[in-house]
Amino acid sequence: MAGGAGEPTVYVVDDDDAALDSLLMLLRAEGLTVRGFPLARDFLEFISPDHRGCLITDLRMPEMDGVELIRALRARGSALPAIVITGHADVSKAVDAMKAGASDFIEKPFEGDVILRLVRTSLEAGEEAADAQAMRARIKQRLEGLTARERQVLDLVVDGASNKTVAQRLGISPRTVEIYRASVMSKMRAESLSELVRMTLAAGGRESRSA
């Protein structure tokens, strides 16, 4: 089962064919969509930031280990949750993987129900991250639809400026500021001022301005 960009998929990377097949079989038995890769570079060639799901990777692999794989994944803009499989002697390396962006690690040998629980948790986290990323993209698109003057008003409002202060800063009347604010609220689809500020900050949409 391949799994497309829009379908949550469990990606498994392990150079041990027997371990890879065993894990894929376990995950498929739970009705999960899975895809296996014997090498980290094969996975990196396939994956893109819009793929949803989670990653399970062995820590020790030739050419590129699990830590390097996760770093490469994050460098490509992917927020895919990653579970690292490690041996007892590799705990410090597993900590490095966590620092690189892994969501969890599990030591060999492990019980099937333990890895399945981690996978379910990671899939939920992955969906939440993907939804948040999609929302940020929608908000940024709305921000791009604002006029230059509306952006100026928005930036000042996000700074906490009152209508009177915005009017003074921009050299327009308070009534005109109200009109611009109403237009910004409508275009941004914000129900309240707090929602407008929250979504703008969440999307990193506040522009820097010189005083």
Domain range for 101 is 9-134
Q: Which residue has the tokens 């333990």?
A: 114
Assigned domain for 211 exists:
no
Q: DSSP for the chain?
A: ----TTS-EEEEE-S-HHHHHHHHHHHHHTT--EEEESSHHHHHHH--TT--EEEEEES--SSS-HHHHHHHHHHTT----EEEEE-GGGHHHHHHHHHHT-SEEEESS--HHHHHHHHHHHHHHHHHHHHHHHHHHHHHHHHHTS-HHHHHHHHHHHTT--HHHHHHHHTS-HHHHHHHHHHHHHHHT-SSHHHHHHHHHHTT-PPP---
Specify the pLDDT at position 5: 56
Specify the pLDDT at position 6: 63
Q: How many domains does the chain have?
A: 2
81 and 172 co-located in one domain: no
Question: What CATH code is carried by the domain that includes residue 176?
Answer: 1.10.10.10
Q: Does residue 210 register a pLDDT over 80? A: no
Q: Does residue 21 register a pLDDT over 50? A: yes
188-200 confidence digits (pLDDT tens): 999 888 889 888 8
Contact 97/59 with Cβ under 8 angstroms? yes
Confidence (pTM): 0.65
Q: How many residues does the chain have?
A: 211
27 and 80 co-located in one domain: yes
Q: What is the mean pLDDT of residues 53-65?
A: 91
Specify the pLDDT at position 205: 61
Among 17-21, 71-75, 99-103, 117-121, the least confident range: 99-103
Question: What CATH code is carried by the domain that includes residue 23?
Answer: 3.40.50.2300
Q: Does residue 33 register a pLDDT over 80? A: yes
Contact 13/55 with Cβ under 8 angstroms? yes
Q: What is the CA radius of gyration of the chain?
A: 23
115 and 150 co-located in one domain: no
Q: What is the mean pLDDT of residues 62-66?
A: 89
Q: Does residue 79 register a pLDDT over 60? A: yes
117-174 confidence digits (pLDDT tens): 999 998 888 777 777 777 888 898 999 999 999 999 999 999 889 999 999 999 999 9
Specify the pLDDT at position 2: 43
89-123 confidence digits (pLDDT tens): 677 888 888 888 888 888 888 888 889 999 999 88
CA–CA gap between residue 113 and residue 119 (Å, rounded)? 10
Assigned domain for 78 exists:
yes
Q: At what angle do helices 112-144 and 17-29 cross, to 10 degrees?
A: 80
